[in-house]
Chain A
């Protein structure tokens, strides 16, 4: 019997053309990341049975929930998909305890047992003291815990988390993230997590699937994605500059042409179409062209500055857009400001080229 989630779905709706196949083992967390509108939440809705796809098959631990070819489409209440909604969707007219008891009650558990179980889940998630309060009287973090307790108390076989931290402030976020990770490890469920913030995705997920315009464009561990991003979105996630390039044939130093930018690279084993990537920290900024060992030096201007705690991230327009990271002192010395001319240099050896 195949364990965990196996899903292949296809759905066209408005501008969205979704065609995705995913597989998640018990105890494994897969993060779906991607730009908004790429179909991440739609995927969760299909898995939960809230949205019928045009075609598809969904099975969890061998139990088939959806098979359009066989004409099978179980309604949400007959699947066991625990969906944690982005805004939690707690029932405002019920107390925290009644919210958590809702699932067991709906599945026929006697009221008293359901209440006890709800209380136990709330205590376990650290909100036992708030059991008799309504959602409106709870803080964002407390609501999230109640929602999680409600989802888990329904004994799901698959856990779907839609932007679980989007509604939390930064401090609560890191606390809850840690708790959630421990909870997920214990639950031994297949988990699909939709995350907008890559930090959440990488902190919680074993694997990341990047969904762009309805397609999984890249899938792998954090390290795999960071090592070889294949789309600008993934590069952005990994914090790298990445360009699709056409690489000259031959050995030694050679040209790799991207749109609006020519790079000099070392890539003996790659020629033709590929990708060239380099880290923002490997970009040297100067006020004039450099006479130095760096084989790449592009003139352009500063488009934007983003101060980080220990450095400044500079977006440079030099034929193509690239990101550099320099110290605050360097930024001050160069008097970097939007519109200011600047030269960006990168050593050929700092550029990774892959097919």
Chain B
């Protein structure tokens, strides 16, 4: 047996510990309920309402991440300016700060007694513990995932292609939509999928800022937590569903990334 072969075997052996550690609990979760039983529990009012709310809020949150994140990502990809790296760090911060802390921060800013609470109240708006708060918490936590991927995507598009489009008579806007976006699409799709998955798994900030109100702020993750106290099987079924959705998002992101590699 060659030395390289032996080294590879050693590495595989060492790696298997972590792989097993990650796979085992997930496998246990998958095998905990039969498919029929899982489906039955998912039809319970708690699970159904949480699923609907989650799909609604994560969809809106992802669209907001894309709409608000794309201009920022483009700015960072195409222009160098003072403080760009500082800005980059600030944007990434939601990835590393504890979500609960993010929730506290959101409360301090938008809560009734928060920084903007008074003006918002005068406008007749009360954000905390509403569905809007769920979306805001998700955008806060998930946006860096889209911005990072979109920036990388825009950076991968040669600026000369945009210039070529302009000299051929296309406005900035047209060049962006007909050249930049199609070429960056794999990264944009991957980023949106990751942001969506992160919004889906949001718990801490939502709990703090939006609470756990069935039908209004209770998303899948919060529903799992509530169900754990009363109905373990429903909790398992909802967990299983979340796992499936997260897996789907990851597959979309991976396939999109592979397509970008093929095109390049």
Contact = CB atoms under 8 A, between A and B. Distances in A.
B7 interface: no
A352 B166 CA distance: 49
B263 A154 contact: no
Contacts of B263: 92-93
Contact of B167 (A50, A90, A91, A93): A50
Nearest to B171: A77
Interface in A47-104: 48-50, 75-77, 79, 81-83, 85, 87, 89-93, 102-103
B165 A93 contact: no
Contact of A106 (B161, B163, B168, B182): B168
Interface in B85-137: none
B169 A154 contact: yes
Contacts of A81: 167
B174 interface: yes
Given A93-B263, A106-B174, A50 B158 contact: no
Given A93-B183, A93-B263, A106-B174, A75 B161 contact: no
A150 interface: yes
Interface in A188-236: none
A150 B167 CA distance: 11
A87 B161 CA distance: 10
Contacts of A107: 169
A90 B165 CA distance: 9
A85 B164 CA distance: 8
B161 A91 contact: yes
A102 B178 CA distance: 9
Interface string A102-119: 110011000000000000
A48 B162 CA distance: 13
Contacts of A77: 166-171
Interface of B: 158, 160-161, 163-172, 174, 178-179, 182-183, 263
A48 B167 CA distance: 7
A82 B167 contact: yes
A89 B169 contact: no
A91 B184 CA distance: 12
Contacts of B160: 85, 87, 89
A103 B171 CA distance: 11
B interface secondary structure, majority: helix
Contacts of A102: 165, 168, 170, 178
A91 B174 contact: no
Nearest to B160: A89
Nearest to A160: B167
A161 to B, nearest CB: 12
Contacts of A75: 166, 171-172
A76 B166 CA distance: 6
Nearest to A100: B168
Q: Which of B160, B167, B178 is most buried by chain A, counting CB atoms within 10 A of its CB?
A: B167
A146 to B, nearest CB: 12
Given A92-B161, A92-B263, A151-B168, 14 more contacts: A48-B167, A49-B167, A50-B167, A75-B171, A76-B163, A81-B167, A89-B164, A91-B165, A91-B179, A93-B183, A102-B168, A102-B178, A106-B168, A106-B174
A90 B183 CA distance: 12
B183 A103 contact: no
23 contacts: A48-B163, A49-B167, A50-B166, A50-B167, A75-B172, A76-B166, A76-B167, A77-B167, A77-B168, A77-B170, A77-B171, A83-B164, A83-B167, A89-B160, A89-B164, A92-B161, A93-B182, A93-B263, A106-B170, A106-B171, A106-B174, A107-B169, A154-B168
B158 A89 contact: yes
Residue of A87, A93, A150 with most partner-chain B CB within 10 A: A93
Contacts of B179: 91
A107 B166 CA distance: 11
Interface in A252-270: none
Nearest to B185: A93
A14 to B, nearest CB: 14
Contacts of A79: 167
A110 to B, nearest CB: 15
Interface in A8-52: 48-50
A89 B170 CA distance: 15
Contacts of B158: 89
A172 to B, nearest CB: 22
